Amino acid sequence: MRAVLAVCASATLALIAGCAQPQDDRPPEPETAEPSPTYESLEGTQWEGALDGNSLQLEFEEDGTVLVLSYNGLGPFDSETDVWQQEGETLTVTLTGLFVDGEEQVTLDVTVSGEVDSAALVLEGEYSSGAEAVMELTPLAVS
């Protein structure tokens, strides 16, 4: 019986030794985050297009203001309250004191935002009246 126990004990130890793997005491490799995409700043760029059918040309100035080069053929207009902000892929533009043509001479403010794209900007938002607004712009060809 002792011989059987000795053989079983030896076989068990051999089995355990064969299954044992050396321990790796190194800490696990930290997961690396995917790099965030970078978006080229619109600072100093000029754009043309329309704000709800009204022709518009503007420049995103270094100080965070918007120089309205032309609005329905009038301008330029340079106001400290016309501002832009770019955070990553999102652009927000606020223009103030826009003249709305009609029987009543009304001025409105508008804030629009959307995704930055070097080929075209489509920004959506609303006027201070609550009406929806869409600004569509392409880079202004500089000659």
Per-domain boundaries in the chain: 46-139
Mean pLDDT for 19-40 is 60
From the list 90, 106, 108, the residue with the least C-alpha distance to 36 is 90
Q: What is the pTM of this model?
A: 0.70
Q: Could you tell me which residues are beta bridge partners of residue 77?
A: 68
Task: Report the alpha-carbon distance of residue 52 to residue 50 in Å, rounded.
Answer: 6
pLDDT at 15 over 90: no
Per-residue pLDDT reduced to its tens digit, 94-120: 999 887 655 566 788 999 999 999 899
- Around Cβ 9, how many Cβ atoms within 10 Å? 10
Q: Which CATH number fits domain 46-139: 2.60.60, 1.10.3470, 2.40.128, 3.40.1130?
A: 2.40.128
Q: Higher pLDDT residue, 138 or 102?
A: 138
